[in-house]
């Protein structure tokens, strides 16, 4: 699909380009913040799985308004992929599961705790729903691992989720670490997509639990003792049992006056289509595409 | 009680064991006797998790299943007899990537997603050890365990670029293999343990030397991601399956991997699993569409008798035939004894297949350069352009019994000669290029050249014939410009019936199909552009009716037939192939590389018996035997390759036997018409309708005869069903005319209300993604939709609409993405009267009216309303709406009216925690006392709603991911329901 047809189809895509955002997902964080105001008094914030950087752009614009007293504010964006620079954002190309990353961020924050941590990360989906949902949950738990080491008590955590068959397990697990767990859906996220955002307010870990990142520990090992990944391995494999599940309160964000991402808008087609703020990255299958163009990859012999 | 009877969905594990094939679908494993294609048993392995892997150990008589975080070790025999082995299910903390029996079979290794190996005793399931590789605990995308006599190698495919091979005993890394880009989707060692094969997001397959860690070969071929690889045939061959729907066979020789074969095995997207049986003759694949396909890799008989002849080589062995440069084959006919052909120089040659001898029958200049060849069981006819007709009749061994020649004097020249069989007679239809000449039809006794009758027919102007069929006393001619002509042979002066189709190419075949109980005669017709039709002819009234129109997905269509399994098969050309395609099951069953559609070719015999494809190539001929596979084509028929967006039962109680007809509309842009056997739950697909060019939003039977489908590009189609023949047929009756050229403008939903006592004429409300609301009236007589009301709600997308007739008014109800219900009173805007909830003809003036302002707007959900069901109470002039939302909630809302336009609205009940994800479908059941809902959390719930309160009576997990739609139909005895649930797959339930 060409850029102009995508413009017609998706008003948020068009708006993102007009406002200089790298992706339409910027509006999701904007709409979430408009409802929850978690960025209002935030001083130190972390954006995990940040590439291409649209959420970091939102953080930058919200935390560093022109003329504000903002000298102590810090934004750190982490991703395995390289990212182009963003004003007022410290970019780390690093692994969020590695203790070294935690150390670097802690040093950047001069030992102080973070107020807000977010992650809009999602793995490349395979189409195997159960595996995709598992990998997404593992990604959230990895982000959460680091977050528990960084967040101040009362701090907030937001991550992208897919509301599939096991999301209620995730709600239940996060309920042990935060005062309140909410499932929020911004108007800029399509109603036809399983995507939502888990908004965890008021970080409040069990008093007897100390988070500790270790390269050789799994996510389950990490959360031992705080009711997450609760499967305690004894001497034998436990029989199947229903895991604890709970349903989070649902909140629609963005207000009814904002654009509906499911709607078709008849925008003026004469307006020239803008170039995307950032061109797509090199995919791993770049060579395959090249071979396909040359007719070397076919469906018949 | 809700009970699932059948489920078709992604198949993630397939495994041959002796004469059986074990195939997973969701949490079930079905055992097939694969050479017979029969199902032996279906056994539920896990409560919720899908089965991703199957390992059999014959020695210990054990079978290992794993999937997600579940693992089960079961007695082999139990899988053949038990309906479930749920009590054996165990759980581990992490996703299981792979599992294997140890070399001595007294241990089981489980590799998990964090590169951890759990070593388990299969007897008491105690965990003996858990091993990790220091510093390498990042999440994996794939992995396998290679058990060798003295070593266990763990092959781990990481999320980015690398493959880690480590030794379980030493806990040391053996290799980190770099070379791929992106996530590694499969990594597997060969049987000998000498080689390793891998694939990644870069779409290449790499072969590595496990003894040195060197990259040996990189091969490309798949057009999308590759999901699974397996070595077979002593490491000399590799098989792969991919997102591109193909299964490919690769040869590995001299450190080079090269592609050998490509098989298209599934629909639209993703083949997940593959296995090859011991001898390497058959493979089985499992697709996202749920299809379990058998592939004959090597055959003892396939291509056995294929022959290639060039005129030059024939001349070396054929007495009396001198090949001259430039001489080509002009025509041929295949017999049981062999072949007869004619060359461009008028040489008529015979091949006897049992003795492999070539004879010259004649050499005649008059048949040089132009000749047409036709034939029957034992006679071949040649006609030249001067209307000279020569025939040879043969005995069984190929000896000439009779040679005849005569000149046809009724036409001045010959341009075409077609053949047809009917009722013991053989017909030749001879056409002249001169428009004033008649069309001559010669009738012979079947399998002889005894002329019994000659018909001189008046040729319609502009008719250029392309194919023919004779039925009773009627000659059917298919022609250019996609026209058909029907002549009455008993009354040659009678003017012919002209059959007009929507297509614009050339008709390639016309065939008699069957005669119904009522005496209606059914014909099929194919068109080169890929469209095909079924039509009936009323010979008395000189009229015809097209009852089915469809098209193949790609290529040129040359002909069609029903096979012995009642599947509809089509054949033609696709890129460089001649292929036969099973249109009912949507799979290719034969293909042969071919020079191009312009070459001369012919198909002889009947499929499954003695079918032969002959075609001209270079200065010779190729003869290909088309044999049915030695194995069943599929073990299980699949469904759509992508998400099913809607499903609907035909709402008539007297469906065929115990089989219920239903439709499914999918993201893959097709609508399937299928039946489900209400007892066994077995699905059978009849048609895959390809009229839509965008993904489907909704499809619904609006009565016994009609269904409506809609989607993007403002597509809304009305289909008419014909039930009078042995298979159901559907014809695209009418389309709504799009208002603009916007590919994204979707028709999200529609609702229909028939006129009182009328099953043909109705009004229909449609709602759009741009907030448009329209009302149409449909007249069957004129086959026309007229726009009655046109307007807009706001700017948001509207997901649902209902027409609600009350005592003396008609309400229009919509539910958009803003979570509101909006009601209009449209009684005065329609050209009909409403009385006691019924619509009556009023003779009012037509014309389009503007949608006025709404009369009610009431918020019920925090986000969009995904689905609703409406119950009306005419007596109290009120209705209730049962709705499910994107906000996980289910609500009951009451609308009542005291003759005023504005209704009183009351939220009777609401469960904000009805599901943990979007509620996607809502159905009223049991005389509106219960509600059946589906939601994206994969739970089917039945709610008691008797006192306008919502109480869950029953919840059942479904393995269908992206659970998006359902439909119900009451059982004939009124004791329960048949239920279809669609999403990523389709399942059939009873309650």
Whether A125 and chain B come into contact, CB under 8 Å, resolves to no
Of A9, A130, A215, the CB nearest to B68: A130
> Could you tell me which residues come within 8 angstroms of residue A60 by beta carbon, excluding any fewer than 6 positions away?
A75, A86, A87, A88, A89
- From B399's Cα to the closest Cα of chain A, the distance in A is 41
Nearest residue on chain B to A262, judged by CA atoms? B797
Q: Is the pLDDT of residue A269 over 60?
A: no
Rounded CA separation B612/B223 (Å): 33
* Partners of residue B130 in chain A, C-beta under 8 Å: 233
Residue A124 has what DSSP assignment? P
**pLDDT for residue A243:** 84
Helices of type H across chain A: 3-9, 11-18, 26-36, 54-63, 99-108, 129-150, 167-174, 219-223, 286-293
- State whether CATH 3.40.50.970 applies to domain B746-913: no
In this complex, do B863 and A300 lie within 8 Å of one another by their Cβ atoms? no
Q: How far apart are the first and last CA of chain A?
A: 28
Rounded CA separation B358/B864 (Å): 76
In this complex, do A235 and B138 lie within 8 Å of one another by their Cβ atoms? no
Nearest residue on chain A to B957, judged by CA atoms? A165
Contacts 24+ apart (CB under 8 A), A20-26: A20/A57, A20/A277, A21/A54, A21/A57, A21/A58, A21/A277, A22/A52, A22/A53, A22/A54, A22/A57, A22/A277, A22/A278, A23/A52, A23/A54, A24/A54, A24/A188, A25/A54, A25/A55, A25/A120, A25/A188, A26/A54, A26/A55, A26/A57, A26/A58
- From A188's Cα to the closest Cα of chain B, the distance in A is 12
Rounded CA separation B52/B142 (Å): 12
Domain hosting A108: range is 3-293
Q: Is the pLDDT of residue A69 over 80?
A: no
Count CA atoms closer than 13 A to A60's CA, side-chain side.
18
**pLDDT for residue A8:** 57
* Residue pLDDT, tens place only, A4-49: 455 556 788 888 888 999 999 999 999 999 999 999 989 999 999 9
Range with the largest mean pLDDT of A279-293, B39-53, B605-619, B958-972: B39-53
* Partners of residue A217 in chain B, C-beta under 8 Å: 137
In this complex, do A126 and B917 lie within 8 Å of one another by their Cβ atoms? no
* Residue pLDDT, tens place only, B295-332: 999 865 555 578 889 999 999 999 999 999 999 999 99
A209 is in an annotated binding site: no
Nearest residue on chain A to B937, judged by CA atoms? A165
* Of the candidate ranges A65-79, B100-114, B548-562, the one whose mean pLDDT is the lowest: A65-79
DSSP per residue, A256-293: TTSPPTTS-----TTSPPPPPSSPPPPPTTHHHHHHHH
Nearest residue on chain B to A168, judged by CA atoms? B916
* Residue pLDDT, tens place only, B680-712: 899 999 999 999 999 999 999 999 999 999 999
Q: Is the pLDDT of residue B232 over 90?
A: yes
Closest to B374 measured CA to CA, from B387, B356, B359, B392: B392
In this complex, do A260 and B797 lie within 8 Å of one another by their Cβ atoms? yes
**pLDDT for residue B897:** 86
Per the structure block, which two tokens stand in for B510?
């016309």
Of A123, A130, A167, the CB nearest to B50: A130
Annotation marks residue A160 as catalytic:
yes
Of B95, B202, B591, the CB nearest to A284: B202
In this complex, do A250 and B912 lie within 8 Å of one another by their Cβ atoms? yes
Q: Is the pLDDT of residue B64 over 70?
A: yes
Of A218, A236, A287, the CB nearest to B124: A236
Q: What is the β-pairing status of strands B810-816 and B798-805?
A: antiparallel
Question: Mean pLDDT over residues B229-233, rounded?
Answer: 96
In this complex, do B50 and A245 lie within 8 Å of one another by their Cβ atoms? no
Whether A35 and chain B come into contact, CB under 8 Å, resolves to no
* Residue pLDDT, tens place only, B787-840: 999 999 999 999 999 999 999 899 999 999 999 999 999 999 999 999 999 999
In this complex, do A9 and B244 lie within 8 Å of one another by their Cβ atoms? no
* Partners of residue A183 in chain B, C-beta under 8 Å: 888
Helices of type H across B305-446: 311-317
Q: What is the β-pairing status of strands B226-232 and B237-242?
A: antiparallel
A10 is in an annotated binding site: no
**pLDDT for residue A1:** 39
* Residue pLDDT, tens place only, A157-166: 999 999 999 9
Closest to B512 measured CA to CA, from B525, B529, B500: B525
Nearest residue on chain A to B594, judged by CA atoms? A301
pLDDT confidence band for A283 (50 / 70 / 90): confident
* Partners of residue A127 in chain B, C-beta under 8 Å: 243, 269-270, 288
The alpha carbon of B137 is separated from its chain's Cα centroid by a whole number of angstroms, namely: 42
Average pLDDT, chain B: 93
* Residue pLDDT, tens place only, B720-765: 999 999 999 999 999 999 999 888 999 999 999 999 999 999 999 9
**pLDDT for residue B657:** 61
Q: What is the CATH number of the domain that holds A198?
A: 3.40.50.150
A53 is in an annotated binding site: yes
* Partners of residue A299 in chain B, C-beta under 8 Å: 223, 244-246, 262, 264
**pLDDT for residue B755:** 95
Rounded CA separation B619/B924 (Å): 69
Q: How many CB atoms lie within 10 A of CB B231?
A: 22
Average pLDDT, chain A: 87
Question: Mean pLDDT over residues B382-393, rounded?
Answer: 94
Of B10, B89, B245, the CB nearest to A128: B10
**pLDDT for residue A3:** 45
In this complex, do A126 and B887 lie within 8 Å of one another by their Cβ atoms? no
**pLDDT for residue A2:** 44
Looking at this predicted complex, what is its ipTM? Answer: 0.92
| Percent of chain B scoring above 90 in pLDDT | 84
In this complex, do B91 and A240 lie within 8 Å of one another by their Cβ atoms? yes
**Residue A301, in any domain of the structure:** no
Per the structure block, which two tokens stand in for A89?
């954002």
Q: Which of A3, A160, A212, A296 is catalytic?
A: A160
Q: Is the pLDDT of residue A229 over 60?
A: no
Per the structure block, which two tokens stand in for B213?
């860690």
**pLDDT for residue A227:** 63
* Partners of residue B590 in chain A, C-beta under 8 Å: none
Residue ranges per structural domain of chain B: 641-745, 746-913
**Residue A298, in any domain of the structure:** no
Q: Is the pLDDT of residue A268 over 80?
A: no
Of B135, B139, B962, the CB nearest to A216: B135
**pLDDT for residue A228:** 62
* Residue pLDDT, tens place only, A91-136: 999 999 888 999 999 999 999 999 999 999 988 889 999 999 999 9
Q: Give the pTM.
A: 0.94
**pLDDT for residue B842:** 85
Rounded CA separation B984/B642 (Å): 6
> Could you tell me which residues come within 8 angstroms of residue B175 by beta carbon, excluding any fewer than 6 positions away?
B163, B164, B165, B208, B213
Per the structure block, which two tokens stand in for B264?
């298209």
* Residue pLDDT, tens place only, B647-684: 999 987 655 567 899 999 999 999 999 999 988 899 99
Q: What is the β-pairing status of strands A74-79 and A44-48?
A: parallel
Whether A1 and chain B come into contact, CB under 8 Å, resolves to no
A260 is in an annotated binding site: no
Q: Is the pLDDT of residue B577 over 90?
A: no
Q: Is the pLDDT of residue B780 over 90?
A: yes
* Number of structural domains chain A divides into: 1
**pLDDT for residue A138:** 92
Letter string b/e over residues B717-745, b meaning 16 or more CB atoms within 10 A of that residue's CB: bbbbbbbebebbbbbbbbebeeeeebbbb
In this complex, do B916 and A168 lie within 8 Å of one another by their Cβ atoms? yes
* Residue pLDDT, tens place only, B825-881: 999 999 999 999 999 988 777 789 999 999 999 999 999 999 999 999 998 999 999
Q: Is the pLDDT of residue B141 over 60?
A: yes
């Amino acid at each position: 699909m060409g850029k102009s047809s995508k413009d017609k189809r998706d008003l948020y895509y068009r708006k993102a380009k007009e406002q200089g955002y790298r992706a339409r997902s910027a509006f999701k964080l904007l709409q979430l913040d408009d409802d929850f105001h978690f960025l209002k008094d935030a001083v130190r914030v972390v954006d995990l799985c940040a590439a291409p950087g649209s959420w970091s752009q939102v953080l930058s614009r919200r935390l560093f308004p022109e003329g504000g007293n903002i000298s102590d504010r810090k934004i750190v964006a982490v991703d395995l992929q390289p990212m182009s620079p963003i004003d007022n954002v410290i970019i780390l190309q690093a692994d969020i599961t590695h203790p070294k990353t935690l150390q670097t961020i802690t040093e950047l924050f001069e030992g102080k705790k973070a107020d807000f941590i977010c992650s809009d990360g999602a793995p490349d989906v395979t189409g195997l729903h159960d595996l995709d949902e598992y990998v997404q949950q593992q990604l959230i738990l990895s982000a959460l691992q680091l977050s528990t080491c960084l967040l101040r008590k009362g701090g907030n955590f937001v991550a992208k989720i897919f509301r599939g068959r096991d999301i209620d397990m995730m709600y239940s697990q996060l309920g042990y670490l935060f005062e309140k767990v909410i499932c929020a859906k911004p108007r800029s996220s399509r109603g036809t997509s399983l995507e939502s955002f888990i908004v965890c307010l008021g970080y409040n870990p069990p008093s007897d639990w100390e988070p500790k990142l270790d390269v050789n520990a799994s996510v389950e090992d990490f959360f031992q003792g705080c009711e997450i990944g609760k499967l305690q391995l004894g001497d034998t494999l436990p029989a199947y049992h229903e895991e604890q599940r709970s349903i989070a309160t649902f909140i629609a964000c963005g207000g009814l006056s904002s654009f509906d991402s499911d709607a078709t808008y008849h925008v003026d087609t004469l307006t020239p289509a803008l170039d995307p703020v950032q061109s797509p990255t090199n995919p791993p299958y770049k060579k395959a595409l090249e071979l396909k163009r040359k007719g070397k990859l076919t469906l018949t012999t | 009680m809700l009970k699932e009877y059948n489920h078709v969905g992604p198949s993630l594990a397939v495994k041959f064991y002796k004469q059986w094939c074990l195939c997973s679908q969701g949490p079930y494993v079905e055992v097939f006797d694969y050479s017979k294609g029969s199902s032996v048993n279906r056994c539920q392995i896990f409560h919720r998790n899908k089965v991703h892997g199957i390992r059999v150990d014959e020695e210990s008589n054990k079978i290992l299943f794993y999937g997600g975080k579940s693992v089960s070790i079961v007695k082999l025999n139990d899988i053949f007899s038990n309906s479930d082995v749920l009590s054996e299910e165990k759980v581990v903390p992490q996703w299981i990537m792979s599992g294997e029996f140890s070399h001595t079979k007294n241990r089981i290794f489980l590799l998990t997603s964090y590169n951890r190996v759990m070593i388990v005793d299969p007897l008491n399931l105690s965990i003996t050890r858990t091993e990790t590789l220091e510093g390498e605990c990042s999440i994996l995308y794939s992995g396998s365990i290679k058990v060798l006599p003295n070593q266990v190698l763990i092959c781990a495919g990481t999320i980015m670029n690398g493959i880690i091979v480590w030794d379980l005993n030493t806990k040391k890394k053996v290799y980190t293999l770099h070379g791929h880009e992106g996530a590694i989707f499969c990594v597997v060692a060969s049987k000998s343990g000498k080689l390793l094969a891998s694939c990644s997001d870069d779409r290449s397959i790499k072969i590595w030397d496990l003894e040195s860690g060197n990259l040996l070969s990189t091969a490309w071929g798949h057009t999308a991601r590759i999901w699974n690889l397996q070595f077979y045939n002593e490491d000399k061959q590799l098989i792969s399956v991919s997102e591109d729907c193909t299964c490919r066979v690769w040869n590995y020789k001299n450190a080079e991997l090269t592609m050998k074969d490509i098989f298209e095995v599934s629909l639209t997207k993703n083949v997940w699993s593959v296995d090859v049986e011991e001898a390497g003759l058959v493979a089985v694949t499992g697709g996202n569409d749920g299809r379990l396909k058998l592939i004959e890799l090597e055959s003892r008989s396939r291509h056995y008798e294929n022959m290639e002849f060039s005129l030059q080589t024939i001349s070396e062995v054929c007495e009396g035939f001198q090949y001259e440069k430039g001489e080509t084959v002009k025509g041929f006919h295949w017999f049981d004894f062999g072949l007869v052909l004619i060359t461009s120089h008028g040489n008529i040659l015979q091949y006897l297949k049992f003795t492999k001898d070539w004879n010259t029958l004649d050499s005649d200049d008059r048949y040089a350069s132009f000749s047409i060849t036709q034939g029957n069981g034992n006679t071949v006819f040649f006609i030249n352009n001067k209307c000279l007709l020569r025939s040879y009749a043969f005995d069984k061994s190929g000896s000439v019994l009779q040679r005849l020649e005569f000149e046809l004097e009724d036409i001045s020249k010959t341009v075409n000669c077609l053949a047809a069989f009917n009722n013991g007679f053989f017909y030749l239809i001879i056409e002249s290029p001169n428009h004033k000449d008649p069309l001559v039809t010669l009738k012979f006794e079947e399998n002889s050249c005894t002329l019994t009758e000659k018909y001189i027919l008046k040729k319609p102007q502009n008719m250029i014939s392309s194919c023919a069929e004779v039925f009773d006393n009627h000659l059917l001619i298919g022609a250019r410009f996609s026209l058909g002509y029907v002549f009455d042979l008993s009354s040659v002066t009678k003017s012919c019936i002209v059959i007009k189709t929507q297509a614009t190419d050339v008709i390639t075949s016309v065939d008699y199909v069957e005669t119904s109980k009522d005496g209606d005669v059914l014909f099929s017709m194919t068109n080169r552009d890929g469209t095909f039709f079924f039509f009936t002819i009323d010979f008395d009234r000189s009229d015809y009716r097209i009852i089915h129109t469809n098209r193949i997905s790609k290529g040129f269509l040359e002909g069609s037939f029903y096979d012995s399994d009642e599947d509809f098969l089509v054949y033609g050309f696709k890129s460089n192939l001649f292929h036969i395609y099973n249109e009912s099951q949507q799979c290719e069953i034969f293909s042969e590389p071919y020079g191009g559609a312009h070459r001369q070719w012919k198909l002889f015999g009947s499929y499954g018996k003695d079918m032969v494809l002959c075609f001209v190539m270079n200065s010779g001929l190729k003869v290909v035997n088309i044999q049915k596979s030695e194995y069943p084509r599929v073990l299980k028929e699949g469904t759509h390759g992508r998400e099913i967006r809607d499903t609907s039962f035909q709402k008539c109680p007297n469906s065929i036997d115990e089989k219920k007809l239903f439709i499914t509309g999918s993201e893959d842009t097709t609508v399937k018409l299928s039946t489900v056997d209400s007892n066994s739950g077995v699905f059978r697909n009849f048609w895959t309708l390809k009229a839509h060019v965008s993904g489907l939003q909704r499809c619904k039977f609006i009565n016994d005869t009609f269904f409506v489908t809609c989607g993007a590009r403002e597509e809304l189609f009305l289909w008419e069903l014909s039930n009078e023949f042995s298979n159901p047929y559907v014809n695209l009756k009418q389309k709504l005319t799009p208002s603009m050229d916007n590919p994204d403008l979707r028709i999200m939903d529609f609702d229909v209300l028939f006129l009182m006592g009328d099953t043909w004429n109705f009004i229909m409300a449609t709602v759009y993604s741009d907030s448009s609301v329209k009302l149409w009236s449909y007249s069957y007589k004129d086959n026309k939709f007229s726009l009655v009301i046109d307007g807009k709600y706001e700017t948001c997308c509207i997901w649902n609409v209902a027409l609600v007739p009350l005592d003396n008014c008609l309400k229009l109800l919509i539910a958009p993405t803003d979570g509101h219900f909006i009601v209009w009173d449209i009684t005065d805007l329609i050209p009909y009267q409403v009385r006691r909830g019924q619509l009556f003809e009023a003779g009012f003036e037509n014309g389009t009216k503007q949608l006025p302002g709404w009369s009610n707007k009431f918020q019920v959900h925090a986000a969009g309303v995904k689905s609703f069901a409406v119950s009306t109470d005419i007596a109290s002039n009120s209705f209730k709406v049962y709705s499910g939302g994107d906000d996980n909630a289910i609500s009951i809302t009451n609308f009542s009216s005291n003759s005023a336009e504005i209704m009183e609205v009351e939220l009777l009940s609401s469960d904000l925690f009805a599901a943990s994800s979007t509620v996607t479908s809502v159905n009223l059941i049991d005389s509106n006392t219960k509600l059946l809902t589906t939601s994206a959390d994969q739970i089917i719930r039945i709610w008691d709603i008797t006192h306008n309160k919502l109480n869950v009576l029953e919840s059942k997990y479904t393995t269908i991911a992206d659970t998006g739609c359902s439909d119900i139909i009451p059982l004939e005895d009124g004791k329960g329901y048949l239920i279809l649930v669609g999403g990523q797959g389709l399942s059939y339930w009873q309650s």
